[in-house]
Structure 1
Amino acid sequence: MTRKGKRLLSIGGMFAVVALAAGLVLTAMSDSVAYFNSPTDIMENTPGPGQRIRLGGMVETGSVVRDQGETVTFRVTDTVQSVPVTYTGILPNLFREGQGVVAEGTLGPDRLFLADTVLAKHDENYMPKEVVDDLKARGLWDDESSRPMATEGAGT
């Protein structure tokens, strides 16, 4: 075999090793990925029982109810549909009504979202990118103010 052939063979071998490593990493990560869902997505395509998902949207105004303990119930909306969420734990300091939020957990058989993690971004205008894209696709996003257009209540 010539020197050029050996060089091409070694380069091809390196590409094969890198491709194999990338494939193994992606396969290992696919089990831990929690996909983002808007409230409309959840109402239209109910996830399987026990399937871990992310729910993102805005905390519906007037929906936050705090129990005596650390349990909080609220609704997450995308201005079209809303999903009731219950969470036990300490909420982020920036959690409030009208704020963008991402909750991670499972959907119960009664369509109550059981969150084990609630995330809020430090920017007061935060809204998950997927929710903004969804609102823009529905024509419900005001580009001038970078806020959702006002609507009269979300469906349940």
Structure 2
Amino acid sequence: MKTLKKRRRVQIILLSIVALAVSTALIGYAMQDGINFFRSPSEVMAEPPKPTEVFRIGGLVEEGSIVRGQGETVRFVVTDGGESVPVTFTGVLPDLFSENQGMIGTGSYVNGVFEASEILAKHDETYMPKEVVDALKEQGIYKEAGES
């Protein structure tokens, strides 16, 4: 009688461990496509990613670089002050998208051109998330817009 209970208990524990391992593997596999790493144009030019890798690139839209193509295709150059990366995007751009403004694009780097599937424009020059402001205040680095 004790051996049957013991055997059943061991089976349940082993089954639970296998189920936990399988669910962890499935969650990891599902999240693989959802994680996008951020890179600056300098990082992209220094170490170009694989064409199949999806990542985010951010910087300023270079002045005079916006060229509207046929349909909804737009070409422009994003820079971080050090390096510049050409970008193509097909779709509707955000209203705040313009030259010398910050942007973040999601896509992949293929044949020397970042092919964006999504473009986000920076809200404004003074915007900063509350969490970042709080962290900077704790360090004594943050100053209000009117302070010098």
Give the TM-score normalised by structure 1.
0.60
Give the secondary-structure state (helix, strand or coil) at the position aligned to 1:117.
Answer: strand
Larger radius of gyration: 2
8 Å contact from structure 1 (residues 56, 100) kept in 2: no
8 Å contact from structure 2 (residues 94, 121) kept in 1: yes
1:124 is the counterpart of 2:109: no
CA distance in 2, matches of 1:53, 1:145: 36
What is the root-mean-square deviation of aligned Cα atoms in Å?
3.5
Paired letter, 1:106: S
Offset at residue 42 of structure 1 (A): 1.0
CA distance in 2, matches of 1:68, 1:29: 35
Q: Report the counterpart of residue 30 of structure 2 in structure 1.
A: 28
In structure 2, runs of 5+ residues without a counterpart are: 129-140
Q: Report the counterpart of residue 65 of structure 1 in structure 2.
A: 66
Q: Report the counterpart of residue 134 of structure 1 in structure 2.
A: none
1:86 is the counterpart of 2:107: no
Paired letter, 1:55: R
The match for 2:97 among 89, 95, 108 is: 95
Paired letter, 1:120: A
Offset at residue 41 of structure 1 (A): 1.5
> 4+ runs of 1 displaced by more than 4 Å?
1-13, 142-146
1:38 is the counterpart of 2:40: yes
CA distance in 1, matches of 2:14, 2:100: 54
CA distance in 1, matches of 2:142, 2:98: 23
CA distance in 1, matches of 2:124, 2:11: 55
Compared with structure 1, are the counterparts of its residues 18 and 58 closer, same or farther at alpha carbon in structure 2 (3 Å cutoff)?
Answer: same
Compared with structure 1, are the counterparts of its residues 31 and 61 closer, same or farther at alpha carbon in structure 2 (3 Å cutoff)?
Answer: closer
Give the share of equivalent positions with the same residue, in percent: 34
In structure 1, runs of 5+ residues without a counterpart are: 128-141, 147-156
Compared with structure 1, are the counterparts of its residues 66 and 24 closer, same or farther at alpha carbon in structure 2 (3 Å cutoff)?
Answer: same
Give the TM-score normalised by structure 2.
0.62
Structure with larger RCO (C-alpha < 8 A, sep 6+): 1
Offset at residue 65 of structure 1 (A): 1.9
Compared with structure 1, are the counterparts of its residues 45 and 7 closer, same or farther at alpha carbon in structure 2 (3 Å cutoff)?
Answer: same
Paired letter, 1:79: G
